[in-house]
């Protein structure tokens, strides 16, 4: 069962503004990455369902987070079907993110009051997702569907809409300024934040520092 309600998750997503996105089959590396991000100020983290036995890694990781990083809200991403959704709910995921809009996933998540963030690429998809109960819609791939200008144009007729782009988001003042200036609620960030070099070198102190710098930028641009 999820440790955090969907309301708590949505509020924390909006409060922190940045959700790291990461997958690795080695659970020890995952622990190091989560700890480094946690030390940098991250409180919402998306582990992605992108490999054989990913659910087994997630299950163990979620137990570890509950005791070692108690304020961390760990969720799962890259889920595209209701069966996998149910599997991760049984493993205690606190939220589910999808690259697509699958209404059957909404039914399962809503029944357990777990936040569901579907991937949308048009205003019609966003409105349908909201009709199904989505509090925050993922814009994916963010840069390919129109970038910040897409967000700005959506927010014009639908100012209540809350969007989270993933793909094309970078931890720079220019990039984050463009996205948040357009009106996003938060952003998902993967390889631009948790780089291959950091993982290869095991330089987790550098990751913590990078996260802190990204949050400092967010604090400035969100004043």
Strands (DSSP E) found in 86-216: 95-97, 115-117, 119-120, 137-139, 163-165, 187-189
Per the structure, the count of domains in the chain is: 1
Q: For position 51, what pLDDT does the model report?
A: 85
> For residue 206, is it within any domain?
yes
Q: For position 117, what pLDDT does the model report?
A: 98
Low-confidence ranges of the chain (pLDDT < 70): none
Helix (H) or strand (E) holding 21: strand 18-22
Using a 10 angstrom Cβ sphere, with 0-12 exposed, 13-18 middle and 19 or more buried, the burial of residue 213 is middle
Token pair of 120, please? 């949308």
> For residue 222, is it within any domain?
no
Q: At 30, which CATH number?
A: 3.20.20.70
Q: For position 223, what pLDDT does the model report?
A: 82
Q: For position 114, what pLDDT does the model report?
A: 98
> For residue 1, is it within any domain?
no
Q: For position 45, what pLDDT does the model report?
A: 98
Query: Residue 203, Cβ neighbours under 10 Å: how many?
Result: 15
> For residue 219, is it within any domain?
no
Q: For position 155, what pLDDT does the model report?
A: 97
Record the pTM: 0.97
Residues spanned by the domain of 42: 6-212
- Dist. CA 47–CA 50, nearest whole Å: 9
> For residue 220, is it within any domain?
no
Query: Residue 148, Cβ neighbours under 10 Å: how many?
Result: 20
> For residue 208, is it within any domain?
yes
């Amino acid at each position: 069962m999820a440790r955090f309600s969907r309301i708590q998750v949505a509020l924390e997503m909006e409060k922190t503004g940045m959700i790291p996105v990461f997958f690795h089959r080695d659970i020890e590396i995952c622990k190091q990455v989560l700890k480094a991000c946690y030390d940098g100020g991250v409180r919402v983290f998306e582990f992605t369902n992108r490999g054989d036995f990913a659910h087994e890694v997630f299950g163990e990781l979620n137990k570890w987070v509950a005791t070692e990083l108690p304020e961390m809200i760990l969720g799962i991403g890259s889920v595209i079907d209701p069966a996998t959704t149910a599997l991760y709910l049984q493993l205690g995921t606190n939220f589910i993110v999808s690259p697509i809009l699958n209404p059957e996933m909404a039914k399962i998540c809503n029944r357990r009051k777990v936040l569901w963030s579907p991937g949308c690429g048009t205003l019609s998809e966003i409105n349908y997702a909201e009709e199904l109960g989505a509090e925050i819609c993922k814009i994916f791939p963010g840069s390919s569907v129109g970038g910040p200008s897409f967000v700005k144009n959506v927010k014009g007729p639908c100012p209540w809409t809350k969007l989270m782009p993933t793909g094309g988001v970078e931890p720079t003042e220019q990039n984050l300024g463009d996205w948040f200036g357009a009106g996003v609620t938060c952003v998902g960030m993967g390889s631009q934040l948790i780089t291959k070099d950091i993982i290869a070198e095991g330089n987790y102190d550098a990751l913590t520092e990078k996260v802190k710098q990204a949050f400092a930028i967010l604090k400035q641009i969100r004043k």
